[in-house]
Amino acid sequence: MGKPTGFKEFDRATEPYRNPVERLIDYKEIYTSHNDGHLTTQGARCMDCGVPFCQSDNGCPVYNLIPEWNDLVYHNRWQEALDRLHKTNNFPEFTGRVCPAPCEGACVLGVNNPAVTIKNIECAIVDKGFDKGWIVARPPEEHTGKKIAIVGSGPAGLAAAAQLNQSGHAVTVYERAERVGGLLMYGIPNMKLEKKVVERRVKLLEEEGVTFIVNADVGGSGEHGIAVETLRDESDALLLATGATLPRDLNIPHREGDGVYFAMEFLRKSTKSLLDSNLDDGNYLSAKDKNVIVIGGGDTGTDCIGTSLRHGCKSLVNFEIMPKPPIDRADNNPWPLWPIIYRVDYGHEEAAARFGKDPRVYSISGKEFVRDDKGSLLGINTVEVNKSFKEIPGTIQFWEADIILLSMGFLGPEHYVSEPLNVELDGRSNYQAEYKIFQTSSAKVFAAGDCRRGQSLVVRAIDEGRLAAVEIDKYLSRC
């Protein structure tokens, strides 16, 4: 694939982000424009490896035909590359921006050399497809008369809707927020995924026949509540794709009170205010001139860092309970497993540009929040921990903070949607439904994405949505 000797001739070179100092003054995407010449050279590095682990179980969750479109890009056959890409991935413009690229971790070239820049190439292919007008709405030619309701418009719900609609079914997607996209809209900040990119794809789905209903709180009892039993009874199949939205809390002394917030509340309000008024309405948790501490790493923690910096925070620290990862793979982390190594993401780079150093502090755990007599947050006491997460005596330290953001993952889905349906839960409180079957214990009810498997990647949610659509289609053919 690509140029047979390309991996020997060319070094890995990713497309650069915009200068961190410049991008910190706006909320535009952090990425620079694609360069065709650069990308064809990088496509040439894809080697004829025989067994492409990039599209194996250790690699791409949607089994993208990566060597094929790398080769097509190398030969400047971009439209054919786009066709290959869309065969397995409904939304490469999302994954090409926000996916951590497990495909690159499993790239065979990565055994002893830097992997192919798969993510860059994927993003460039789909962006060129939109720029050239190759991506247009393709409504189904036939209709089955079957009605499907999908609760949740995140990546799993959207992928299932796209596939089921193409099969000719009438699909309605219900979203409790006022904009479609779920995690894509409010969980990922604008600088990493501009919302016009999400809205562009949603518009295509609408043109193809998918119906979206926003401000629809399925299972809720408020003004916008919709009885989930009614939705089930009026549909031929119901898919729950609600995500894992119940955050993990930090239950240490003095938790209650202002100043300590869940990461997703912080990110959601900031993005909504940005979209509604360019932040002029003030309806968000502002970090301007505040000492900010983010507890927890991962993508969400990084997004909290990037957002706080753009608000104009006074200082910023990021706590991680894990030890600092090694620069290279450890012996117990061999290829093709995901490489657990030290990485500098966009937020870390921006913090270093603003404050002169990486914001992360490793092997540290919160001991208690510190408040004054009136309950106002002053900061947090921490303690250092060893590799077994045991406290190290004599290491308690006070950190000043006006805002502390909890970014420690999610416990599972909210159950007010599932309880009226008597959907059984697994041991981790997710909706019980077997992978590649997706049917729950409740008749006509299926589940896919993070609400079924637990917190995971956008690309895994797309995979589950696509596969759930196959199973729903089979189910409807038997009805």
Q: Which domains does the chain have, with CATH numbers?
A: 6-131 (1.10.1060.10), 147-245+411-478 (3.50.50.60), 249-408 (3.50.50.60)
- Going by their DSSP bridges, the two strands 237-240 and 147-151 should be labelled as parallel
Q: What's the whole-number mean pLDDT along residues 245-251?
A: 97
Mean pLDDT confidence for 87-104: 97
Length of the chain: 479
Determine the 3-state secondary structure of 149 from DSSP: strand
Task: Look at residue 401 in the predicted model and tell me its pLDDT.
Answer: 98
Q: What are the angstrom distances between the C-alpha of 383 and each of 257, 325, 372, 458?
A: 22, 19, 21, 34
Q: Is a pLDDT exceeding 80 seen at residue 437?
A: yes
Strands (E), 342-402: 360-362, 364-371, 377-384, 397-400
Q: What is the mean pLDDT of residues 407-432?
A: 97
Once rounded to an integer, what is the mean pLDDT over residues 162-179? 98
Q: How confident is the model at residue 479 (pLDDT cuts 50, 70, 90)?
A: confident
The CA distance from 93 to 17, in Å, is 17
The pLDDT of residue 1 is 59
Running DSSP on this structure, what letter comes out for residue 183?
A: I
Q: What whole-number distance in Å separates Cα of residue 205 and Cα of residue 164?
A: 11
Model-level pTM? 0.96
**Percent of the chain clearing pLDDT 70 (strictly above):** 100
Which pLDDT band, with edges at 50, 70 and 90, does 48 fall under? confident
Give the model's confidence band at 281: pLDDT under 50 very low, under 70 low, under 90 confident, else very high. Answer: very high
d(CA 381, CA 163): 50
Overall average pLDDT of the 118-145 stretch: 98
- Give dist(CA 319, CA 301) in Å, integer: 9
As a whole number of angstroms, the distance between CA 371 and CA 298 comes to 27
The CA distance from 268 to 68, in Å, is 38
Q: Report the chain's mean pLDDT, rounded to a whole number.
A: 97
Which residue type is seen at 108? V
3-state secondary structure of 217: strand
What is the separation of C-alpha 239 from the centre of its chain, rounded to a whole number of angstroms?
Answer: 20
Does position 160 have pLDDT exceeding 90, yes or no?
A: yes
pLDDT at 3: 86
Going by the DSSP 8-state scheme, the letter that residue 108 receives in this structure is: G
Rounded to a whole number, what is the distance in angstroms from the first to the last CA of the chain? Answer: 45
H/E stretch holding 403 reads strand 403-406
Read off the tokens for 362.
């490793």
Distance CA 410, CA 114 (A): 32
pLDDT at 393 over 70: yes
Alpha carbon distance 429, 410 (integer Å)? 11
Q: Are the beta carbons of 1 and 67 closer than 8 angstroms?
A: yes
- Inform me whether the pLDDT recorded for 445 exceeds 80: yes
Cβ(62)–Cβ(99) below 8 Å: no
> Across residues 154-169, what is the average pLDDT?
98
